[in-house]
Amino acid sequence: MTSPKPTVVVLAAGKGKRLRSPIPKVLHRVAGRPLFVHVLTALSSLSHERAVVVVSKEEDAMRAAAEGAGFTDLEYVVQDPPNGTGDAVKVALEHLGVVDDVALVVNGDTPLVRAETLKALVDVVREGATAAVLTATVADPADLGRVVRRPDGSVERIVEARDATPAELEIVEVNCGAYAFDGAVLSELISKIDRENAQGEYYLTDVVQLMVSEGHGVEAHMVTAEESAGVNDRKDLAEVGALLRAQICEKWLQEGVTIVDPSTTYIDADVTIEPDATILPFTFLEGATTIAAGAEVGPNSRIVDSEVGPGATVTYSVVRGSTLGPESSVGPYASLRPGTTLGRGARIGTFVETKATSIGDDSKANHLAYLGDAEIGRGVNVGAGTITCNWDGRDKHKTIIDDDAYIGSDTMLVAPTHIGKRAATAAGSVVRGDVPDDALAVGVPARIIEGKGNKMGRVERAETESEDD
Ligand code: UD1
Ligand code: CA
């Protein structure tokens, strides 16, 4: 072994028949990431030479998923048809040419495998073995390959469940589907395996027996049953998802995040949370979401691809593609759609829907409103029942509301419209066109009364009572 870095092969071309899905198995997601992206993530913290992903005809979807997760320097090789894991490795090796260093081969459907484990496998080969196989002792070996050992305890071969004798089926040590090989020996022996087995496929596992019979050392590296868990069917997908979820909650608890009930908290792998944030039960944090210190999210909330600022709160609400400023608050029962930005201390209350809308510092829409394609300044109060009529049946138009404006209850803002600073609209008005600074818009269609905006009594009332009620 001269080269210090392994060459990596990820097997991801299987159809996943047992999932009964038109989508390749490894594209199914757990904790927000496709299965094989979890494997790529573990591999990425291990320095390596070339990395090849063996894919099926759905190469483009696989590439898009990997690139979407930031993996841009992978090589793809198509295995069509998928004739088994042995054939997949053969296709990869033909693409790679000579591999004289360690070849690290990992099934793409084992998302819990850790970087340290993969590194340990490589080290076993560095230290002299020809191959290292990842194994685990499991309660229910089901259809996994069994590790057959000789009387002296050394690995003899791996037998697939479907080809095993009843005695072999009793073996509870299974092959986890990750291997390090001496690249040269692997290249030589991979072409010697056949498909004389129950599935009529080329089994990668058959190289183990070939190596052993030629006197090469093959060692097993054991991990916990949990880490070995792979996905073959929907039940596995749910179980692996639950294991990952528990691990993710555990990690954030250790980092100083309060998670009141981890068993009802669903946090995707790519979410980040600052210490001293609080996550209340029945909450889903998905995609590229970040939660800042002191924020409180939940109960019963779903946050997708959003930023929740320091001290912000989200209660019984759905927030997607949005940025919530410090101390802002959302809910109960609000829907923030992509492109929503809340400034410091802004408030979105009950039955309010927003989309592509920025809401400035200390502005409020506390009840029953639709705000779409709007730019709302600071200190604006949006009354109950307000609607930005942003679509005229053909095009979308913008609504601009300047600082300290007061939108009375049940105002229809027919876009494009621009409400000036400190301007006001009366309850039930239908506003078309612009309302100048300090003006009041009244009626249907609204008449403009210059200079009367402040006469809504907003300033006086704000000083004496809460505007929440
Ligand atoms: C495989 C192992 C089994 C082990 C189990 C661990 C073999 C023959 N068996 O079985 O010993 O216990 O993994 O999870 O290797 N793939 C391809 N091309 C193919 C077939 C599969 O790239 O032609 C990929 C799949 O996408 C998958 C991986 O290889 O990511 C494993 O394939 P799968 O069919 O799930 O193998 P198992 O039956 O689970
Ligand atoms: Ca599998």
Q: Tell me if 261 is assigned to some domain.
A: yes
Task: Kindly give the number of the ligand 1 atom that is closest to the alpha carbon of 25.
Answer: 26
Quick one: which atom of ligand 1 is closest to the CA of 110?
14
In a domain, 217, yes or no: yes
| Residue 173 and residue 31 share a domain | yes
Residue 468 inside a domain? The answer is no
- Same domain? For 318 and 283 the reply is yes
Give the position, in ligand 1's atom list, of the atom nearest the Cα of 55.
22
**pLDDT at residue 2, rounded to an integer:** 47
Element (H, E) at 330: strand 329-330
Q: Which residues of 269-284 are buried (b: 16+ CB within 10 A; e: fewer)?
A: bbbebbeebbbbeebb
Residue nearest to atom 33 of ligand 1 (CA): 14
The answer on 289 and 420 residing in a single domain is yes
Do 93 and 176 belong to one domain? yes
Same domain, 278 and 197: no
CB of residue 232 inside a 6 A radius of ligand 1: yes
Query: What tens digit of pLDDT does each residue of 131-171 get?
Result: 999 999 999 999 999 999 999 999 999 999 999 999 999 99
**Segments forming the whole domain that contains residue 241:** 235-449
Output the pLDDT for position 227.
95
Q: Please give the share of the chain, as a percent, with pLDDT higher than 90.
A: 92
CATH of residue 166: 3.90.550.10
Is the CB of residue 111 below 6 angstroms from any atom belonging to ligand 1? no
- Does 461 score more than 50 pLDDT? no
Q: How many domains does the chain have?
A: 2
Looking at the structure, do residues 32 and 93 belong to the same domain, yes or no?
A: yes
What's the rounded Cα separation, in Å, for the pair 424 and 379?
Answer: 13
CA–centroid distance, 188 to ligand 2, in Å, is 25
* Helical residues (DSSP H) of 50-182, grouped into ranges: 59-68, 85-96, 115-126, 166-169
pLDDT in tens, 82-122: 999 999 999 999 999 988 899 999 999 999 999 999 999 99
Average pLDDT, the chain: 95
Å from CA of 374 to ligand 2 middle = 49
% residues pLDDT > 70 (the chain): 96
Mean pLDDT of 294-323: 98
| Domain end call among 232, 256, 276 | 232
Is residue 467 one of the residues assigned to a domain?
no
CATH number, domain of 336, equals 2.160.10.10
Encoding tokens for residue 329? 């608050």
* 221 in the same domain as 86: yes
The DSSP string of 197-256 is: STT-S--TTHHHHHHHHTT--EEEEEE-HHHH---SSHHHHHHHHHHHHHHHHHHHHHTT
Placement of tokens 């904790």 in the chain: 31
Q: Are residues 308 and 344 in the same domain?
A: yes
Q: Tens digits of per-residue pLDDT, 26-56?
A: 999 999 999 999 999 999 999 888 999 999 9
Alpha-carbon separation of residue 235 from 37, 130, 224 (angstroms):
20, 35, 19
* Rounded distance between C-alpha atoms, residue 233 and residue 246, angstroms: 20
Is residue 144 within 8 A of residue 134, CB to CB? The reply is: no
Task: Identify whether 463 is part of a domain.
Answer: no
Assess whether 402 and 265 both reside in one domain. Answer: yes
Q: How far is the CA of 266 from the centre of ligand 1 (A)?
A: 28
Q: Give the per-residue pLDDT at 468.
A: 52
Distance CA(423)–CA(436), nearest Å, equals 7
Residue 397 annotated in active site: no
What residues contact 165, with CB distance under 8 A and at least 6 apart? none
The CA 86 to ligand 1 mean position distance, Å, reads: 9
pLDDT at residue 172, rounded to an integer: 98
**Do 127 and 71 fall within a single domain?**
yes
Q: What's the pLDDT tens digit per position in 182-213? A: 999 999 999 999 999 999 999 999 999 999 99
